[in-house]
Amino acid sequence: MATFGWVTDITNGVMLNHALSKKLRFASIAKTKFVGFTRVEPGFGRKRGQSITIQRIRNIAVPTSAVITEGQRIPVDQFLISTTSITPQQIARSVEYTDLVEQLNNYDVKNPIQFKLRQQMALVLDNLASDAFKEAKIKFIPTSLAGGTFDTDGTPSTQATANISIDHCGVIRDYLADTIHTDAFEDDKYVGLGSTKLLRGIKNDPAFQVWRRYLQPGDVLYNSEVGAVESIRWIEVNNTAALSNAKGAASILGEGVVFGPDAVAMAEVVSPHLRVAIPGNYGLDKGVAWYGNLGFGPVWDTANDGEANIIHITSS
């Protein structure tokens, strides 16, 4: 049993300082952003098997000409369905403490333990969701102040030599709109989640538009949204476990993703929640845990036109 304890005043473990503040202070955590942009897969849950298969309808090829002549049979096109699957996993962590800790403390230790466990759970879920976004087959690597290269096999093969700029945002937006024909996330705009360093490269450009200047009355402001450029609404992520601030040559690049709708799905068997342990050792040993059974995955794991809808900004 071992994860909760006091720091003692002297080596024999006796607490000497009893002048305790009545206010608890908590360490701050990074903000979580990714889970809110995932979609819970409907029709899946308990007693539905170990994974869910997502069916995806592929585009029918557009012919050069659809004109037919008298007596000609109507040409037949293929109707194609592809699939991908998401396999949930059990995730959990806990904190154990003793009844003696509760007896001696001047506050209920279970409340702050639960609070910090909920924060830990949120960060773990966000890191899992960010990993799914970063599985995108299309990678964009800035290689100059205004340009870059796209890799479409899921692996960046070039080292970034610049942080992202508004010019890069235009390149990414045009690729989404004109090369892979990705629908906008909402209101003709894509969503970008970027690390603090990546967004600094954008915000330093005088052409950057703060959110107050493009939202209309009644429009939704995303949490931590900082502004938009080239039809991309940018949201800052300060969780470096989800998005790095140190990509590329001399760590010049911040990491990010830009996406359209229905980018990442979540298969949930058991929603993450807190559980209190049944006291052991005649009630002297106690604990609190969080537990869930779920998984994340990109809906389209291709770089194909009309299918791919995530671009991952990164470096080799």
Q: What is the pLDDT of residue 11?
A: 46
Q: What is the pLDDT of residue 195?
A: 97
Domain ranges of the chain: 35-39+86-129+267-297, 135-265+299-313
User: For the stretch 163-182, what's the b/e string if a residue is b when 16 or more beta carbons lie within 10 angstroms of its beta carbon?
Assistant: bbbbbbbbbbbebbbeebeb
Q: What is the pLDDT of residue 60?
A: 92
112 CB burial (10 A radius; 0-12, 13-18, 19+): middle
Which of 41, 33, 29, 32 has its CA nearest to residue 192?
Answer: 33
Residues of the chain with pLDDT under 70: 1-26, 28-29, 106-107, 211-212
Domain 135-265+299-313, CATH class in plain words = alpha beta
3-state helix, strand, coil in the chain (%, to 5): 20, 30, 50
What is d(CA 40, CA 11) in angstroms, rounded to the nearest whole number? Answer: 52
Give tens-digit pLDDT for 106-140: 667 888 899 999 999 999 999 999 999 999 999 99
Number of CB atoms found within 10 A of residue 262's CB: 14
Predicted TM-score (pTM) of the model is 0.86
Q: Which residues pair with 266 in a beta bridge?
A: 40, 296
Average model confidence (pLDDT) across the chain: 88
Q: What is the pLDDT of residue 15?
A: 47
What is d(CA 316, CA 310) in angstroms, rounded to the nearest whole number? Answer: 18
Q: What is the pLDDT of residue 21?
A: 58
What is d(CA 298, CA 265) in angstroms, rounded to the nearest whole number? Answer: 6
Are 238 and 123 spatial neighbours (Cβ–Cβ below 8 Å)?
no
Q: What is the pLDDT of residue 12?
A: 47
Number of CB atoms found within 10 A of residue 129's CB: 23
Q: Which residues pair with 276 in a beta bridge?
A: 288
Q: What is the pLDDT of residue 23?
A: 61
Q: What is the pLDDT of residue 4?
A: 52
Which of 158, 155, 93 has its CA nearest to residue 123?
Answer: 93
Q: What is the pLDDT of residue 7?
A: 47
